[in-house]
Structure 1
Amino acid sequence: MNDSADVSTSPDAPPVTIFGPDFPFAYDDWISHPSGIGAIGPEAYGQEVAIIGAGMAGMVAAYELMKIGLRPVVYEPNRIGGRLRSEPFVPGEPEVAELGGMRFPISSSSFYHYVNKFGLRTRPFPNPLTEAAGSTVVDMNGESLYARTLEDLPEIYAEIAAAWDNALERIAGFSQMQDAIARRDAPEIKRRWNQLVHDWDDRSFYDFLSTSDEFGKLSFRHRELFGQVGFGTGGWDSDFSNSMLEILRVVLTNCDTDQHLIVGGAEQVPRRLWSDTPYRITHWPVGTSLSSLHNGSPRAGVKAIRRADADHLEVVDSYGVAKQYKAVIVTCQAWLLTTEIDCEESLLSMDLWMALDRTRYMQSSKTFVMTDRPFWRDVDPATGREVMSMTLTDRLTRGTYLFDNGPDRPGVICLSYTWMTDSLKMLPHPVERRVELALRALDNIYPEVDIKSHIVGRPITVSWEADPSFLGAFKGSLPGHYRYNTRMYGHFIQDDLPAHQRGLFLAGDDVAFMPAWVEGAVQSGLNSVWGVMHHFGGQTPVDNPGPGDVYADIGPIDVGD
């Protein structure tokens, strides 16, 4: 693991959280403040706000708007949860395949606000070379290496780890930047991060590696292994073409370390937001939930959004039913506004349309099976090792994860977790063929283990790029995309927009600066809450300003043309 520069290891040090760096605003403090997040006037109580998409961003927005007295109307074509999709192998049983988000860094402090509020249990995720994994097998170029820690691997892996840490320290001032994030020193974060934006917006992750003094002293083999195996959650090569800014955000905010899973499935979080009856609620009687406001079910998916009049937008669902709203929050992935939803072009500026259409989504595929028991815990008498480990490989499977639910419960294996071109290799195949291909690859690594004999029930798979409601797993910003990110992220500030473009708010992790991480969805959803509250004439408490109140002071830097 790459934790040598983690400034939060001291018990007295504040933790590193996803506090910026582009917009260092304390969302976790805002939503937990005793004064509340804000209020609208009584004349706005009960007014409807459309929420398009029931993923994490949509459910957070709907939940918080309900609490201040508005009436969210949620539209969803599939199921509550979005890319927090926990598919049970057996209905009613706790064993699930986490088809979307499955590992959540504890630095996601706003997300964990809701996890903890609902009393959901978590446990460490079995990432490579972690105690939760127990053991890891690194299989490269036909050679399998067994390890429990980095120190168990050959020296070349320690050289890679040292080069990565040293490059981050020298080029990005890693320790000082993490210290500023942990202390929530917004001016210092902005001073350091703004310079990194200037230096690295136009440069890729691979550029960072190949031109750094640290990796320049090493061989291509070092960079190749770093791409295949990496540190933290695994290999990095699928991100090599991404903007280096995106990688810096991940490592500076500890997204790639100290991750947990949600026991029973991550989909519980948005579903609890749907069913929860908050005690502190305005206008609505105690006992009101989003579910009760919808008679138990969201409305159908959306096929059109258009301007109805100067003050209203019209949303048309897939059955042709049209309703008018003063405010609409769109949380679906950006491409859907040009593919699945007929969104009136004049509702957004052409610069914003450019940003939305240039958004680049990464492919992702997973294949899961359930096993009769966690058989991988069996010990091989010849070696004294468990017969199977968390596995990183250059073979078709790339990453294989083992989930032990206890000796008296079935086990779950993510046979294959792949990205980009590796995911496209799986795209044409049905689930049975995907299992066959994965088992064939694993048989080469564990020839003495009969994995197939332990599989029970139905296999489960996903390719997010094949789902017309998603078209990909999440955004992966390319070099030069900082301007696009800024346009999308700041859209919730609408005072300077022409009147015909106000009232439609964008949210979701692809609008955020932290794509792929649920914290980005939560934070952008909260931005839209502030935007809608402001749109209805509401305001935040003096002692608890919201994101829109301080955006001009600590928002993303303007890099110009």
Structure 2
Amino acid sequence: MKPVTVFGPDFPFAYDDWIKHPGGLGSLPQEAHGDKVAIVGAGAAGVIAGYELMKLGLRPILFESGQFGGRLRSQPFEGAEDVIAELGGMRFPVSGSGFYHYVDLLGLDSAPFPNPLTPAAGSTVIDLLGQTYYAHTLQDLPPLFQEVAQAYDAALEEGARFADLKQAIRDRDIPRIKDIWNPLVSAWDERTFYDFVVSSEAFQKLSFHHREVFGQVGFGTGGWDSDFPNSMLEILRVNVTECDDHQRYIVGGVEQVPRRLWQHAPDQIVHWPAGTTLRQLNGGATRAGVKRIRRLSDDQIEVTDSWGRTEGFGAVLVTCQTHLLTTQIDTEETLFSQDLWMALDRTRYMQSAKTFVMVDRPFWKDKDPATGRDTMSMTLTDRMTRGTYLFDNGPDRPSVICLSYAWMTDALKVLPLPVEQRVDLALSALAKIYPGVDIRGHIIGDPITVSWEADRNFLGAFKGALPGHYRYNHRMFGHFVQGDMPAAERGIFIAGDGVSWTPAWVEGAVQTSLNAVAGIITHFGGCTAPDNPSPVDAYALHGPIRLNG
């Protein structure tokens, strides 16, 4: 059976095929070789775009105001070797074939992520309303949980022709995808995820408690209640492209992807000498953060960094979260249309908090002599920890517990608290689930925590589109096609998972960065190979449906 990939459904374009094609992504006129492109942000979108633009003969200059890697942030525990906390992205579905192209290019290894009820987790504990259930698979749980899982599967089929849509994505059958997906956009843009669930025939046959279970612990990656206010389209994309399934983690930390790509010399490169890397073209380090962007002329945009260094560029790619264009960067208003400014400013980012500790060994694998069960398990609960994940680095080696991974209201509960208090609260909650298990006695080193909404360079973890936001997303995602724009708005591009149709997944950052690369090729007068059309070439034919109004 063909694999499911993130092939649309809004814009069904084979990004994985485009970047692997032996003919390359395109070519630029010789007079454009060596021209400078400013890239704001050294996360996945910025580094991937820079890498591909370098191969074409341009000179990408990266600016970074925070930490290299963006939300691909793997923080080592002090004093330990190869023991890390994944503060941002940590689980990567195999359907993200564009992302895995770069993982494979760099020779990085991945392994199954220990999601609940998967073999990688070993065992799972669900703690709900004060009652605890131990399981290895869904079938080990009481019928209530299976009824919830079956109801959601039925709701997807009833409301979204789910099996047909997924098969069309497997087959990369663009007309069939459009035939199914476009009516769903019109029908569900202004309806919430919760509305989709409660209005489905499958869930109407069940009790409120079934919906409560679905919201609190869910299945696959965990509870869904923090997404209940979001547009159903946002969730449906995740489900149908299997972003919530078959997930893996990058061995040694996902931050290796941008860091290694920064220093990777491509096999094929134009204009620059063989062996050239992004790091070399940037003089060994990124520039400081951007403080101002304004237009100098039709073909030059001026960028000023935080030290006052000012320079003109032939194009600018902005990959930071969109709110920074009004809160941190003095961005000349006429660079974007007012319709686009509305979309950029109205983008809603969700809160997220994680707290990690390092432990002396994977003690959770010890068997309880009374029950024969694991001492501790991957845990989903309605308590404030919500999700607790266990990362085994091998027998008798320091390992990692993500004590708490929480979103929205649960993340805000700990926002003002220092890391020590967050750890105490998490351990207190887990003590109620695992009485008699001395987690604290295994902790070594200092804990690590993050609240993305408190970081001035992010102001939130990832986009969560609300009902009615499809038109905003359409404006942002399609901005790379600039042929019909006024000259005053051309030459500045946007990318990142928040601009994509799949926020919170790195594949969205990859796809929008490649959109920007295609737009920049066109902007500099370049072209694509006839047998390898770009996203710009395909957009008029297969772009997202445009809603009226």
Q: TM above 0.5, one fold?
A: yes
Shift of 1:79: 2.0
- Give matches, 1:67-466, under 5 Å: 67-90=55-78, 93-466=81-454
Q: Which residue of the partner structure matches residue 54 of structure 2? A: 66
Q: Which residue of the partner structure matches residue 526 of structure 1? A: 514
- Classify the secondary structure of the residue corresponding to 1:214: helix
1:472 partnered with 2:460: yes
1:261-297 deviation per Cα after TM superposition (whole angstroms, max 9, x unaligned): 0000000001111010112111111111001111211
Mind listing any 5+ residue stretches in structure 1 that lack a counterpart? 1-12
Q: Which residue of the partner structure matches residue 539 of structure 2? A: 551
Aligned equivalents of 1:231 and 1:137: distance in 2?
Answer: 12
Letter of the 2:97 counterpart: S
Shift of 1:91: 5.9
1:39 partnered with 2:37: no
Letter of the 2:198 counterpart: S
Letter of the 2:319 counterpart: T
- Classify the secondary structure of the residue corresponding to 1:168: helix
Q: Which residue of the partner structure matches residue 7 of structure 1? A: none
Letter of the 1:512 counterpart: S
Aligned equivalents of 2:547 and 2:298: distance in 1?
Answer: 33
- Classify the secondary structure of the residue corresponding to 1:423: helix
Letter of the 2:405 counterpart: Y
1:505 partnered with 2:493: yes
Aligned equivalents of 1:146 and 1:108: distance in 2?
Answer: 31
Aligned equivalents of 2:496 and 2:75: distance in 1?
Answer: 22
Aligned equivalents of 1:354 and 1:93: distance in 2?
Answer: 46
Shift of 1:92: 7.0
1:277-322 deviation per Cα after TM superposition (whole angstroms, max 9, x unaligned): 1121111111110011112110000000001122211000000111
2:419–2:448 CA contact under 8 A, matched in 1? yes
Q: Which of 495, 505, 529 is the equivalent residue of 1:517? A: 505
Q: Which residue of the partner structure matches residue 16 of structure 2? A: 28
1:438-494 deviation per Cα after TM superposition (whole angstroms, max 9, x unaligned): 000001111110000000001000000000000000000000110000000000000
- Classify the secondary structure of the residue corresponding to 2:406: strand
Q: Which residue of the partner structure matches residue 5 of structure 1? A: none
Letter of the 1:220 counterpart: F
2:360–2:396 CA contact under 8 A, matched in 1? no
Letter of the 1:191 counterpart: D
Aligned equivalents of 1:110 and 1:95: distance in 2?
Answer: 27
- Classify the secondary structure of the residue corresponding to 2:311: strand
Aligned equivalents of 1:92 and 1:439: distance in 2?
Answer: 22
Shift of 1:546: 0.4
Shift of 1:168: 0.6
Aligned equivalents of 1:308 and 1:165: distance in 2?
Answer: 54
Letter of the 1:416 counterpart: S
Aligned equivalents of 2:309 and 2:158: distance in 1?
Answer: 58
Work out the percentage of aligned pairs sharing the same amino acid. 66
2:362–2:396 CA contact under 8 A, matched in 1? no
Aligned equivalents of 1:294 and 1:248: distance in 2?
Answer: 40
1:385-417 deviation per Cα after TM superposition (whole angstroms, max 9, x unaligned): 110000000001000000001003211000000
Letter of the 1:525 counterpart: S
Aligned equivalents of 1:294 and 1:209: distance in 2?
Answer: 50
- Classify the secondary structure of the residue corresponding to 1:500: helix
1:330-379 deviation per Cα after TM superposition (whole angstroms, max 9, x unaligned): 00000000000000101000000000111000000000000000010111
- Classify the secondary structure of the residue corresponding to 1:510: helix
Letter of the 1:154 counterpart: P
What's the TM-score once normalised by structure 2's chain length? 0.99
Shift of 1:222: 0.3
Aligned equivalents of 1:417 and 1:387: distance in 2?
Answer: 20
Shift of 1:83: 0.3
- Classify the secondary structure of the residue corresponding to 1:315: strand
Structure 1 ranges of 4+ moved more than 2 A:
none
What's the TM-score once normalised by structure 1's chain length? 0.97
2:325–2:331 CA contact under 8 A, matched in 1? yes
